[in-house]
Amino acid sequence: MAEGKRELVIVGLLGRLERITKDNGFSTDAGRQIFVNESPDLGPDDPTDAVALVSREDIVAWQAGKLLIRWPIEVQGLAKVVDPQEVWRAFLEAEAVAADIKRAIELDDRTLGGLLVARGIERVSTRVIPRDPGGTTVGAAVSYVLVMEETWGNP
């Protein structure tokens, strides 16, 4: 059972990302394989696309009786390079996963059921994740800042 607000937020985001399947009207099935706080190279037994949710260090933007926290996260759309001569195809798949990530994260309640403050989820940027030398994976990552409040001693 989730105890702290951060944990509840991660669970809420994972629920949205798990919906990324063609059966649910998305372009990809990336929600069938989700990694948390790791961005692996997709191997032969992995699906052709996946999602990675990577948490970054949060920033306390203001504090008095409450703390206003800005928590950066990155949601990565990963795609397996099937043919090293056509890496561009994997990049197109990664871009399709990134578009699905935006639809899954942004179209629902931006406060995650009141866990985040009114402006809730802010999109910061989208970047390319290039293939490492000898690697089998490329990606497109969408960066967000989650804005939330905590009270002292009540995470």
pLDDT at 155: 74
Among 24, 44, 20, smallest CA distance to 33 is for 20
Q: What is the mean pLDDT of the chain?
A: 93
pLDDT (average), residues 24-41: 96
Domain annotation for the chain: domains and CATH numbers: 5-151 (3.30.2000.10)
- pLDDT (tens digit, 9 = 90+) per residue, 130-146? 998 888 999 999 999 99
pLDDT at 97: 98
Q: In angstroms, rounded to a whole number, what is the distance separating the alpha carbons of residues 60 and 38? A: 24
pLDDT at 133: 87
Which tokens go with 23? 């059966």
75 band by pLDDT with thresholds 50, 70 and 90: very high
pLDDT at 2: 56
pLDDT at 118: 80
pLDDT (average), residues 17-39: 97
Site of tokens 């994740």: 129
Cβ-contact 51, 75 below 8 angstroms: yes
pLDDT higher than 80, residue 108:
no
- The alpha carbon dihedral of 14, 16, 18, 20 has a sign of negative
pLDDT higher than 70, residue 1:
no
Q: Is 0.95 topped by the overall pTM?
A: no
Report the DSSP pairing between strands 66-80 and 137-151. Answer: antiparallel
pLDDT (average), residues 110-115: 92
Which tokens go with 63? 């504090």
pLDDT higher than 90, residue 54:
yes
